Each structure stands twice: as C-alpha cells, then as structure tokens.
Amino acid sequence: MTSRRGLAAFVELPYRLYSGEPSWVPPLRFERRRFLDRGQNPYFEHATAEYFLAFRAGRVVGRVTAQVDTLFQEVQGSGGGHFGFFECERDPEAAAALLDAARQWLTARGCDAMVGPQDFTMNDECGVLVEGHEHPPIIGTGWHHRYYPELLEAAGLAKAMDLYMWELHIEGRERVLPIIWELAEKLEPEHGIVIRHARKRDLEAEMRRFIAIYNVSWERNWGFSPMTEAEVAHAAKTLKPILDENWMMFAERPGRRGEEAEAVGVAVSVPDFNQVLSAVGTGRLLPLGWARALRARRRTDRVRVGFLGVKPEWQHAGVAAGLYREHFDMAARTPQTWGEMGWILETNDAMNRAMEAMGGSIVRRYRMYEAPLSAAASA
C-alpha cells in the first residue's frame, strides 16, 4: 500500500474503530501521517516497511505493518523482523489475513521471526494492552480493544514479553524505601555527581548527550533498538513544544578546569500530552482544537518517565536514586504531581524492584507477541 488514498485509510481506521470509546485518546491526524511518511521519518534511513489493509465488502476492517530494521538486526545479531500498527475489527479471518501478509512479506526478506506489535521500534508505541483497560493511556502508549489478544493468538502468535507501566504519586513519598533517599544523599559527596536540568535553548547538544547514555544503558535490553542522531533530532523537534525543563535532567560529573562535564545518567519525562489530546477529542486542531488544547495543557497533572538510563559503569553508584529523588522534588513544585514510569520489561528485576521501593504499583500491562518464520514458507 503506497498511495496517498491508501495511507489516509490506514491513518483513519482507528478513529472509526474506537468511536465512542472514552478511554481511547485520538492522536493528531497530521502527526500520524507524518510519522508514517517514508520521506519524513528518519527510521527509514535504516529500515524498510510495508503497510497492509484488510477489506470486507469494500470497507477497511483492519491494518498492519511489516518492517525490517537493519540497524536492529545488526546490533542484536538477529534475523528477526517486526509487525506494528495493528488494528482490526473483531474479525478473526481479517486479522489472520493481515498477519499472514506480514509473515509472507518478512519471510521473503529473509527474516526468521516476527515480533510485535511495535510502531516502528521499541522506542515507539509497542505491545497490546492486556491489563489496565480502566486506566487512560499516558503519552506514548496505546489503548486497545480487549479482544486484540484473542485475534493475535488465534492467528498463531504467542507471548514474547510483557511490559509494565508503573504509577507513582508524590503523596506516596513516605512509602519510598529509605535506601533510595540514602543513596541519593551520597551521590555528590561520595561520587562527585550532581543532578542538573536540561536546557531547551541548547536542545541539540542535550540530545547528543542523551543518545550517548541511552544507547549504552539500554543496549542489553530485550528488543532494544538504538536511536540514531537523526531520530533523536526528529523526536526533539516533534516534542519540543511539550518538553519541560523541570522534567528533563542529567546526572553529571563536573569536568576539570577547561573540560566539559561528563553526563553519566539521564531522565527525560514528558508532561502527559494525552490529557490535551483527550480534551481535543477529534485528532484535529482546527477549527476549535487549539482552544481546547490550550485550556487542557494548563490542567495537565501527570508525566510519563519515558527514558531513564545510567551508563553501565555508574549503575551501582546511586545515580538512578538521585534522578528518582529529583522527580519527587519536581512533583512537589510543579502542577504535575504524579505519573507513570515505563514501559519496563517484566524480566527487568532491578527496575521493577526499584519501582516497588519507590512505592509504585503496576497499573497497565502490554504484551509483545512473536511467531517463528520458516525459510520454507517462501518456497
């Protein structure tokens, strides 16, 4: 599917599938079109993808993508491909046809497995919501019909990994284990590391510091896809209007005379723009969406801790504790008094224990699925 008309139908399908569903948050249509545009999204500098639509009686009833990311394959030493953007009516035949089309496309390109959904990488929206439908999704996460796991499993896919979203509230500060505050207190006197906030006026340089930490601190994670400089720059440009210096922070070791400070940890949290999108309600800012968005933005009261990483050599120095404490301090000073941390892999015991130590609770669970691919399937 390459035509503009086909892309428009691909983008529009969720607005009909979730019409009247109060928990679903309509994304901005123009942003979705731009994200899927092969000429605008830098993901396509190292990847290729195909978009599929399923029709019944002349009406679009489902969609899916299949994608091969050569950078992911190189870093992971993997021959796997991915599927994403899965949406479908409660139509097992249509869902199976879509996923079979993705399988065949990936098999023809030499892939030995299909994993997803992810839109397009694990740095984007990923997984199918399997628990927590009663909670509205935070920015960068999705809300899906409860029957989606049924469709995927009926089409032969099996669970690969669950992803957790943890909720934290500022009023829960007394529930935080004392060790967190103790480690944070020792960070500067014992290791010379201080927490500073990012500067939006210097966003390009800050993003370079971010990527240097992100790609080394997350590289061992299941499904990890490194971010390129072009992708970080693109994301920064897209998010700049909603980024808040209060919620972007680095852990640094000050440099010696004439030397630049060394960033050893980073946390980028984003005020929940989904609260704004929910108020807009239509996925369009014109003609009245702008006014609704401005009013809702002033009432945004939660954040998503999207990325928190520490260089491997500093992961036992209490750097994460220092970043956690700064989040609690910011929640006491800003309108955003609570938020969500994640996603976090179900197998990431260290981070999940840390969330428990912070007094958090799992409020939503997303599931990644997989299916093996056989070279014989393309014969």
Q: Mind giving me the DSSP string for 13-29?
A: HHHHHTTT-TT--PPPH
Residue ranges, the chain, pLDDT below 50: 376-379
Q: Are residues 373 and 354 in the same domain?
A: no
Q: Are residues 222 and 144 in the same domain?
A: no
User: Residue 39 corresponds to which tokens in the numbers above?
Assistant: 């000429």
Place of tokens 């097992």: 92
Q: Are residues 211 and 174 in the same domain?
A: yes
Please answer whether residues 114 and 83 qualify as being in contact, where contact means their C-beta atoms are separated by less than 8 angstroms.
Answer: yes
Structural domain span for residue 12: 4-163+368-378
In single-letter form, the type of residue at position 213 comes to I
pLDDT for 360:
92
Q: Are residues 141 and 19 in the same domain?
A: yes
Q: Are residues 151 and 180 in the same domain?
A: no
Q: Are residues 78 and 107 in the same domain?
A: yes
pLDDT for 291:
66
Whole-angstrom distance between the N-terminal and C-terminal Cα of the chain?
24
Q: Are residues 173 and 138 in the same domain?
A: no
Specify whether the backbone of 70 is left (phi greater than 0), alpha (psi in -120 to 50) or beta: alpha
pLDDT for 205:
85
CA distance 185 to 250: 16
Please answer whether residues 65 and 54 qualify as being in contact, where contact means their C-beta atoms are separated by less than 8 angstroms.
Answer: no
DSSP result, 256-319: STTSPPEEEEEEEEEE-THHHHHHH-SS--TTTHHHHHHHHHHT--EEEEEEEEE-GGGTTTTH
Q: Are residues 159 and 186 in the same domain?
A: no
Angle (nearest 5°) at CA 166 between 123 and 219? 35
Q: Are residues 94 and 177 in the same domain?
A: no
Q: Is the dihedral of CA 257, 187, 351, 316 positive or negative?
A: positive
Q: Are residues 195 and 293 in the same domain?
A: yes
Q: Are residues 144 and 189 in the same domain?
A: no
Q: Are residues 96 and 190 in the same domain?
A: no
Q: Which residues pair with 303 in a beta bridge?
A: 271, 339
CA distance 287 to 230: 32
Please answer whether residues 120 and 65 qualify as being in contact, where contact means their C-beta atoms are separated by less than 8 angstroms.
Answer: yes
> pTM here?
0.91
The CATH number for 29's domain is 3.40.630.30
How many Cα atoms within 13 Å fall on the side-chain side of residue 29?
Answer: 18
Number of domains in the chain: 2
pLDDT for 2:
64
